Amino acid sequence: MHLIALIEILAQIYFVAHAVQNNKPRYWVFILLIPWIGFTAYIIMELIPAQQPNSKTHNPGIQACEIDRLEARNVAYLSQGRLFHKSNSLPPAEIQSRFGQKIVDQTIRAQQKHEWKTKGSGSYFGGSALWGVDQLDTEAVKVSIRSAAPASGADRLYFILESETTGGLFLYDCKSCEEKRLFHKENFRARDLDFNSEQNQLVCSQVYANGTSNIILISDDGVDIKEITEGDSIDEAPKWIPGNDRRILFQSSGIARNKDGYVVGRGPTSIQALDLDESRLTNVLEDSRYDYLQPQISADGYMYYIRRPHEISSYSHQAAIMDFFLLPFRLLRAFFHYLNFFSLVYSKKPLTTASGPDIKGDDLKSIMIRGRIIDAEKALRRGTKVLGVPSLVPASWELVRRSQDNSEEVVAQNVAAFDIDAEGLIAYSNGRGIFALNPQKGHQLILKDNLVEDVVIS
């Protein structure tokens, strides 16, 4: 009987640690405390289904879908720091930056040059094995494309590339695969690129180390750069307003800091309009209950934006209680990984092989979408689907069309990003797919991928 009780306790500890490590719903922690019944139910409802083939498992390939009468559209999108372009009826193709590859190659050569300093036969703590790296890993060199916008001419894109130390603006021809570097400099971080072909100017949001973001203007040759907003705020997603005037629509939210100057929160996101010729800033739309994201005006004068409920960051009593009960299991988990570390160092073998599916790229358990941390596993498990594609964002993220008389209409739900072309066709993403919203055809699936962070249609 004592042996059976010991097995039962060890099984409970193992399955609770497994549930916590794999971000399972928290109620499993309490269910697993029920002798035998708890972990039996856990095995049946969680472990066995996880071993079955699942369409949600990451597939590094892209699935292009047939759609009617959208062959003339060019669509680009961002996925985990990579830029893809879909031209006509062809499947999406990744845009490879030669400058980005050059950064990777230079980093690898520098590592190889100094590799002898950490090598040593028989030395466990002097070599790379101490850090769990047996050879140089090009995936560890972070070079990402953070934003893209259509340029003048067919199949041409501006994009912003950044590494850990530098960033720059590039022009890419999708037909000839030619890349032109307009500029690059240290610590340049920018997002939300948009191009005005009439003014020959680009606008984007530059991100600073202190947590603020300001709108900047860039000439189409990358020579002139000018900051046009300032303050302790996060100004993002600028879009040119159609017309001859130099006017910009963008989203803005204030920053809350503690007495030491650290960012502790941000206020509701409002929509602002900036007239560059008259240097006049207008508050277009603001509500303490909502965040208004990615505002832009279509050629017919309607304003579109994503509306989602504003969330105030707080540490609830429920979270405090859960942290208290989970503390022993987290300590056991930390102790296990401590032993697993030394097992890797000395025997080069882990203590467990239950590592789950191999997912390349960033960890998709928790991702950042539009300034909000999303539990991807929970979203895919519980979220709704759009034309059969699971949504990473909830239905409360709505795409709204607002007329000049201030009447509003919700045209789509589960919207993480969107864009509008000159003919009024809307392309939007729910985080896993890209859809076309045509007034005559309704919703149509363009393509789907493991993660779609932003979408550009031209």
CATH number for 391: 2.120.10
Residues 219 and 149 in one domain: yes
Tell me what pLDDT residue 55 has.
Answer: 37
Q: End of a domain among 291, 312, 346?
A: 346
pLDDT at res. 195? 94
Mean pLDDT, range 167-176, rounded to an integer = 92
pLDDT tens sequence across 383-431:
788 888 999 999 999 999 999 999 999 999 999 999 998 778 899 999 9
Q: Are residues 337 and 391 in the same domain?
A: no
Q: Is 112 inside any structural domain? A: no
Q: Which pLDDT belongs to residue 429?
A: 95
Residues 213 and 342 in one domain: no
Quick check: is 247 in a domain? Answer: no
| Range name among 37-41, 183-187, 334-338, 438-442 with the lowest pLDDT average | 438-442
Domain count, the chain: 2
Tell me, what's the pLDDT at 119? 57
The predicted structure's pLDDT at residue 149: 94
- How confident is the model over 430-437, as a mean pLDDT? 91
Are both 26 and 158 inside the same structural domain?
A: no
| pLDDT number for residue 51 | 54
Averaged pLDDT for residues 238-243: 92
- The answer as to whether 285 is a domain residue is no
What pLDDT is attached to residue 20? 67
Under the banding of pLDDT at 50, 70 and 90, the label for residue 265 is confident
Question: What is the pLDDT averaged over residues 312-334?
Answer: 73
- Give the alpha-carbon dihedral of 358, 362, 364, 368, to 10 degrees: 180
pLDDT at 60: 36
Last residue in a domain, options 346, 381, 397: 346
**pLDDT beyond 60 at 356:** no
What is the pLDDT at residue 114?
64
Residue 246: pLDDT over 70: yes
**Does a structural domain hold residue 28?**
yes
Q: What is the pLDDT of residue 381?
A: 75
Which of 30-44, 258-272, 336-350 holds the top average pLDDT?
A: 258-272
- Position 206 confidence tier, pLDDT thresholds 50, 70, 90: very high
Could you give the CA distance from residue 390 to residue 272 in angstroms, rounded to a whole number? 32
Residues 335 and 438 in one domain: no
Q: How confident is the model at residue 280 (pLDDT cuts 50, 70, 90)?
A: very high
Q: What pLDDT is attached to residue 324? A: 75
Does residue 257 sit within a domain? no
**Could you tell me the maximum CA-CA distance found in the chain, to the nearest angstrom?**
84
Q: Are 294 and 399 spatial neighbours (Cβ–Cβ below 8 Å)?
A: no
Task: Give the mean model confidence (pLDDT) for residues 291-308.
Answer: 95
- The answer as to whether 256 is a domain residue is no
Is 303 a member of any domain? no
Do 41 and 176 fall within a single domain?
Answer: no
For the segment 92-101, what is each residue's pLDDT rounded down to a tens digit?
A: 899 999 988 8
One-letter amino acid for residue 419 of the chain: D
Across 207-230, average pLDDT: 93
Same domain, 341 and 442: no
Spatial neighbors of 248 by CB under 8 A, at least 6 apart, are 203, 215, 228, 238, 239, 240, 241, 273, 274, 276
Pick the range with the lowest mean pLDDT from 105-109, 201-205, 286-290.
105-109
Judge whether 111 lies within some domain.
no
Residue 304 has pLDDT above 60, yes or no: yes
Q: Is the domain of 337 the same as that of 428?
A: no
Q: Are residues 42 and 159 in the same domain?
A: no
- Structural domain for 6, as ranges: 2-52+328-346
Give the mean pLDDT of 52-74. 44
Amino acid at 450: N
Give the pair of three-digit tokens for residue 249.
Answer: 């629509």
Same domain, 48 and 67: no
* Final residue belonging to a domain, choices 300, 318, 346: 346
Task: Note whether 6 and 93 are same-domain residues.
Answer: no
Q: What does pLDDT average to over the chain?
A: 80
List 282's β-bridge partners, or say none.
273
What are residue 169's phi and psi, to 5 degrees?
Answer: -110, 135
Does residue 276 register a pLDDT over 60?
yes
Q: Same domain for 418 and 443?
A: yes
